[in-house]
Chains A and B, each alone.
Chain A
């Protein structure tokens, strides 16, 4: 279970970073 939690956490952070990168691009280029 801990392994899955670590994976889920890593993937979630990865997704959050991609989303924030998209938001960054949109904010900078409205």
Chain B
């Protein structure tokens, strides 16, 4: 993802049901807790394997076995990444997939510490381990060293991608390749060492786990793109918007398209095969009541987004979606407040257009922060939506024009307090914009007495 790309929060359960049920609240906390527990069980399973099957070999030393356990945990967490990034709607339904990816980044950094510590502790306990770094070392030890190096390179490239100006698409391919290489070599290392995984029963458990990771990888890289290729879309229009943005409109080609909740997003592949790993997530900015025409309002922020105006009607597009937990249809409320910055307006536009199509008469507030009036994406449409909806729009301009009577600067607590009614705690809030802005606004809303369960955010920076 080059720079800020568009929104990003996914759900799952919604689209598993054929018909989304607007306003139905789900026990997300319970479901989330269950998933966290299941994930924990999954990542500690290699330690359990030691006792689950066959004879348990005797320990060596505490330091040595601690290091081995860290290595086992590191490998199982690395393998679990294939599950975390597989975009299964049922796994992300409780959190939103933006958070799943965010968690993936954090747990990867933590486990990277385990991977670094694993050989260092072994060397500390037994300096002769250094002999395994030589080229004539046993193959399984060389596999371990290679896995370690692949993982180090993977993490360094992920952290330093922008610094070394590595193209997002190229990075994704390298990232996926290194991940498979690192995990494959690490499994070979564990099986080759043949100690805590030496018993046939234990080896079977390890093989089952490794094969399940491989199946996940094949599903993501082969099966899903094949399914996408069977359901293509065609570009019908590319419309210039204010603020260096375009709306790309597509329609299904030979199938019934996708049903989505307002505010959700999809991974879009434009100008290449779905197998090429050149997909990018964008919010659907069109109405969920008009699934025959899907609109994506996209701002020029990097290499891929700069090519959007070059799209031509009739061009093939592939979509993977819908995803996202950032939707009014997941949260019933007597009214909604949207607080956005910049192109964060995209999913909000989708929700407002949907509400207008439904003839919704609930009170709505939109705080829309941008640098200048000229750059306010969809300004004219928002003005017309004010007539179709009970919508109060508060434009907040960093650089207001002369004679500007509206709000200027940043969204502040005092500003929110002034515009929102006394019944503010009853409404649901949707925040979408730069992370710094949403973090601050969350604090403001909490100070203003809005329960945090009513505040929903969307992240749009993955890498």
With beta carbons under 8 angstroms apart, the residue of A2, A6, A24, A29 that contacts B47 is A24
Q: Is B139 an interface residue (CB 8 A)?
A: no
Residues of A in contact with B, size category: 20 to 34
Nearest residue (CB) in A for B76 is: A17
With beta carbons under 8 angstroms apart, the residue of B43, B59, B103, B442 that contacts A28 is B59
Given contacts A1-B442, A1-B452, contact A28 B58 (CB under 8 A): yes
Residues of A close to B77: CB separation below 8 A: 17
Interface residues of B in 94-125 (CB under 8 A from A): 95-96, 99, 102-103, 106-107, 110-111, 113-114
With beta carbons under 8 angstroms apart, the residue of A3, A13, A18, A28 that contacts B70 is A18
Q: Is B61 an interface residue (CB 8 A)?
A: yes
| B457 touching A2, Cβ below 8 Å | yes
Residues of A close to B65: CB separation below 8 A: 24-25, 28-29
Given contacts A24-B50, A25-B59, A26-B62, contact A14 B107 (CB under 8 A): yes
Beyond A25-B62, A25-B64, 12 additional contacts (C-beta under 8 Å) are A2-B96, A2-B99, A3-B457, A3-B459, A9-B103, A13-B107, A13-B110, A24-B47, A24-B68, A25-B59, A28-B62, A28-B65
User: What are the 4 closest A-B residue pairs judged by CB atoms, nearest first?
Assistant: A28-B59, A21-B69, A10-B106, A14-B110
Interface residues of A, Cβ cutoff 8 Å to B: 1-3, 5-7, 9-11, 13-14, 16-18, 20-22, 24-29
Provide a sorted-by-A list of 23 A–B residue pairs whose CB atoms are within 8 angstroms. A2-B96, A3-B102, A6-B95, A7-B106, A13-B110, A14-B110, A14-B113, A16-B44, A17-B43, A17-B44, A17-B70, A17-B77, A20-B44, A21-B70, A22-B66, A22-B69, A24-B47, A24-B50, A25-B62, A28-B59, A28-B62, A29-B62, A29-B65
Interface residues of B, Cβ cutoff 8 Å to A: 36, 39-40, 43-44, 47, 50, 56, 58-66, 68-70, 73, 77, 95-96, 99, 102-103, 106-107, 110-111, 113-114, 435, 439, 442, 452, 455, 457, 459
